[in-house]
Amino acid sequence: MSRSSWGRTAVLAGMALAAAVLVFWGLLATPVEAAPAAAGAAPAAAGAAPAAAGAAPAAAGAPPVAIRMDRASVQASVGQRFELVSTIENQSGATLRGLIAHIDVVGTDPARYVDPEDWCTARTVFLDDLPGGSSADPRWEMQAVDSGPLLVWVTVSRPDGHAVAVGAPVHLDVGQHLQVNVGGVLPVVVGVPAAVLAGLALVTRWRRSPRPKV
């Protein structure tokens, strides 16, 4: 075979090999292109996981309750007393027993120390049995003992303490102005010493006044 014939044969063989490679590659391309659809199904299955995770708290024993406060914020002055009312609603169809409501106070200023016991002396309420769809309204007597921004919120837990439902926080802003008449005691604090002084003055005047001779 001449060199020219050998060259043409080599070229034809190369072209045939290239065509075979292209055909083979085309056959492989179909399943490869279908793979993204199968892979696309994986996120959908994975997307179902959050729904299952969202149901986990109930499975773990979280009380199915909603906690609402009578207000979202409070402005007060140091020494002022005020009341917060919380509504705890049983959103299940069954009676809930042994629920414990608790109020907590935290300061958002790291430079100020906040002791919750100073702000509310009765911070825990043991709720009565709560039938499905009913609610309870614990009341919390508070007193502002220091100035600064604070957060107040109510939690509800079961006796085992495994799960806790948390209500939205109440933003508490306490100014530095000291309320003088705390609890309406100013008239007593001022009036009693004034009455005593007035009595002493009358007695002294009576002793110094001339007495009629007998």
CA dist 134 → 67, 110, 137, 155, 201 (Å): 12, 40, 10, 18, 63
Buried b (16+ CB within 10 A) or exposed e, 50-62: eeeeeeeeeeeeb
pLDDT (0 to 100) of residue 84: 97
* DSSP conformation letters of 10-38: HHHHHHHHHHHHHHHHHHHHHHHHHHHHH
What pLDDT tens digit does each residue of the chain (214 aa) get?
554 554 555 555 556 565 555 544 454 444 333 333 333 333 333 333 333 333 333 335 567 899 999 999 999 999 999 999 999 999 999 999 999 999 999 999 888 889 999 999 999 999 999 999 999 999 999 999 999 899 999 999 988 887 789 999 999 999 875 544 545 555 645 556 666 676 666 766 666 666 555 4
CA dist 71 → 27, 42, 116, 132 (Å): 68, 45, 19, 25
Task: State the greatest distance between any 2 C-alpha atoms of the chain, in Å, as a whole number.
Answer: 173
Report the 10 Å Cβ neighbour count for 86.
22
pLDDT (0 to 100) of residue 161: 80
pLDDT (0 to 100) of residue 45: 37
Query: What are the tokens at 12?
Result: 């034809």
Instruction: Fill in the DSSP letter of residue 55.
Output: T
Query: Residues for the chain: how many in total?
Result: 214
Per the CB < 8 A criterion, the answer to whether 184 and 82 are in contact is no
pLDDT (0 to 100) of residue 41: 37
Per the CB < 8 A criterion, the answer to whether 47 and 143 are in contact is no
- Name the pTM for this structure: 0.55
Q: At CA 11, angle to CA 9 and CA 13, rounded to 5?
A: 70
pLDDT (0 to 100) of residue 163: 74
